[in-house]
Amino acid sequence: MATKSKILFIGGTGYIGKFIVEASAKAGHPTSVLVRDSTLSNPGKSNVIDNFKNLGVNFLILVEQDRIIAAIKEAGNVKRFFPSEFGNDVDRVHAVEPAKSAFATKANIRRAIEAQGIPFTYVSSNFFLAISFLL
């Protein structure tokens, strides 16, 4: 029987990530998700967190992204890194503030990944948006 890959998700409680994390855990992969401490106590994320706990997902507290990239490089055994892209190709988008700054941060992460020679895939599936209305 083939062994399952260990998978670490960064930002796995978000709009799309929560579905990918759930699918990974249900497929039997040892699944971990890096989260901010505040995410674990966020009432708006409690259903997602509880679902992950029931699926056996391991939680790790998120540190600065530059340190994550350095840890990936040091470990030397990461097969593929998929950074969060907000659905856009951040190297080609022409945005205004505040999105412009957010995309610039994502582009800087890309450059750091590339400079370290980490295997990566950028997924740009066009812009998506989740809007919640309070009535």
Residue in 18, 53, 73, 106 annotated catalytic: 106
Angle between helix 17-26 and helix 46-54 axes, rounded to 10 deg: 10
60-88 burial by CB neighbour count: b if 16+ within 10 A, else e? Answer: eebeebeebbeebeeeeeeeebebbbbbb
Please, are residues 13 and 49 in contact by the beta-carbon 8 Å criterion? yes
- Cβ atoms < 10 Å from Cβ of 18: 20
Q: Are 10 and 36 in contact (CB under 8 A)?
A: no
> Does the active-site annotation cover 53?
no
Q: Which residues are catalytic?
A: 106
